[in-house]
């Protein structure tokens, strides 16, 4: 005899455990810690506020000297270099005497002409040594004023249309770690790079300390638009996969308690992410230690019921819901156990109802399968 359980029925039987699990009451999503647990996890929080949200475009680039900020030092007469007081890398001021040239004109001693700097800045190149012959058409030194520089970003063409002259950018220089500079867009380059699909964008950058040097590699967060009154949180506070984001919010009344809150996220800007739904201004979200909270479990603190009882001054069920007057009376009569038993009974009744429905569906499927299987057998008997 062939088994009469069809594949659809077998699949239903396999799904029963998972369906029963799905029907079970969900957890509260609250993590309770001891004070020591908060310290051990390094929990830090920030208050959620509405602020101006920046939409940005990312780009890479480099530092360049500004045109017109470079000058050379040369002699107006022929002669020999008899003094040189600076070298490459030195900083000089405008009008400073940096070298002396002995003239070839007759004299005893021969005339000595001082050479001064036309601008302040950094000595970038030196093309001579003591005793070298000097000619008027030969540059001896190159000086560049680096008090302002260009930060040149290679902006993808599809971003260029949303960025206008005057736009601001937050700029980081690889050689200077996390130090951040602010630049202002002056202009775009005259043509795009066909291979990379980028166009140069020139940002003016103040450099009063002289720490920015030509050729340094840079990263840009170029602000393409601003939106007011946007709710956002630091990226490190977000947990979960992209389809199911959540954060942990500090409980307003229970000490060392943190509630899981599902959130809908929007645009990202730098180290912050827009929150469309799930939080309110004034909520205190966990930043540092947020990932660890997902594995903290009970955290070693009191139970949720105990914490809520202490915080609110009245009784709660084990699942955190408030006791009704009837439940409170039953709990008092039963030595405080009724609330717990009621919570369990409520969960049990839900599971019993589910299994009753599941059993009924299973019985119907068995009957239908049995009838379907018997009909071909009856037809075979009649033919015989």
Distance in angstroms (rounded) separating the CA atoms of residues 216 and 200: 16
Q: Give the pLDDT of residue 359.
A: 73
Distance in angstroms (rounded) separating the CA atoms of residues 95 and 368: 104
Domain with CATH 2.40.420.20 in the chain: 30-54+230-305
Under DSSP, the state recorded for 289 is: T
pTM of the model as a whole: 0.57
Residue range 172-181, pLDDT digits in tens: 999 999 899 9
Q: Give the pLDDT of residue 84.
A: 93
Domain with CATH 2.40.50.100 in the chain: 70-144
Burial 207-229 (b: 16+ CB within 10 A, else e): beeeebbbebebbbbbbbeeeee
Cis peptide before 109 (omega within 30 of 0): yes
**CA separation (Å) from 147 to 173, 185, 205, 209?**
16, 17, 9, 8
Write down the CATH number for the domain with range 30-54+230-305: 2.40.420.20
Q: By the 8 A CB rule, do 118 and 83 touch?
A: no
Residue 253's Cβ-side half-sphere holds a number of Cα atoms within 13 Å equal to 9
Q: By the 8 A CB rule, do 338 and 324 touch?
A: no
Residues in the chain predicted with pLDDT less than 50, given as ranges, are: 1-5, 11-27, 298-304, 307, 310-311, 319, 336-349, 381-382, 384
Specify the residue for token string 């249309």: 161
Of the candidate CATH numbers 2.40.50.100, 3.20.10.10, 3.30.930.10, 3.40.190.10, the domain formed by 70-144 belongs to 2.40.50.100
Q: Give the pLDDT of residue 21.
A: 39
Phi, psi of 317 (to 5 degrees): -80, 170
Distance in angstroms (rounded) separating the CA atoms of residues 328 and 322: 9
Q: By the 8 A CB rule, do 41 and 287 touch?
A: no
């Amino acid at each position: 005899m062939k088994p009469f359980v069809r594949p659809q029925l077998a699949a239903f039987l396999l799904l029963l455990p998972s369906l029963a699990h799905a029907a079970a009451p969900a957890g509260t999503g609250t993590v309770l810690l001891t004070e020591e647990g908060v310290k051990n996890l390094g929990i830090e929080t920030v208050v959620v506020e509405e602020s101006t949200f920046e939409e940005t475009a990312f780009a890479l680039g480099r530092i360049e000297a500004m045109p017109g900020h470079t000058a050379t030092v040369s002699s107006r007469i022929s002669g020999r270099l008899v003094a040189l007081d600076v070298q490459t890398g030195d900083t000089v001021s405008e009008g400073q005497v940096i070298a002396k040239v002995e003239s070839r004109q007759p004299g005893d001693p021969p005339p000595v002409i001082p050479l001064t700097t036309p601008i302040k800045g950094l000595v970038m190149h030196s093309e001579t040594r003591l005793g070298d012959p000097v000619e008027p058409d030969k540059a001896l030194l190159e000086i560049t004023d680096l008090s302002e520089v260009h930060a040149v970003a290679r902006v993808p063409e599809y971003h260029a249309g949303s960025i206008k002259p005057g736009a601001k950018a937050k700029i980081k220089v690889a050689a200077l770690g996390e130090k951040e500079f602010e630049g202002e867009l002056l202009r775009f380059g005259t043509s795009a790079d066909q291979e990379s699909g980028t166009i140069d964008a020139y940002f003016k950058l103040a450099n009063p300390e002289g720490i920015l040097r030509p050729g340094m590699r840079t990263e840009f967060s170029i602000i393409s638009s601003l939106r007011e009154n946007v709710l956002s949180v630091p990226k490190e506070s977000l947990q979960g996969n992209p389809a199911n984001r959540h954060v942990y919010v500090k409980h307003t009344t229970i000490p060392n308690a943190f509630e899981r809150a599902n959130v809908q996220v929007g645009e990202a800007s730098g180290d912050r992410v827009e929150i469309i739904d799930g939080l309110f201004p004034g909520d205190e979200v966990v930043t540092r230690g947020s990932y660890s909270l997902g594995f903290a479990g009970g955290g070693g603190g009191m139970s949720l019921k105990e914490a809520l009882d202490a915080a609110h001054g009245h009784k709660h069920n084990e699942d955190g819901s408030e006791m009704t007057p009837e439940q409170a009376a039953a709990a008092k009569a039963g030595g405080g156990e009724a609330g717990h038993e009621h919570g369990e009974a409520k969960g049990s009744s839900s599971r019993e109802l589910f299994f009753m429905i599941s059993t009924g569906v299973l019985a119907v499927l068995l009957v239908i399968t049995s009838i379907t299987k018997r009909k071909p057998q009856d037809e075979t008997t009649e033919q015989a």
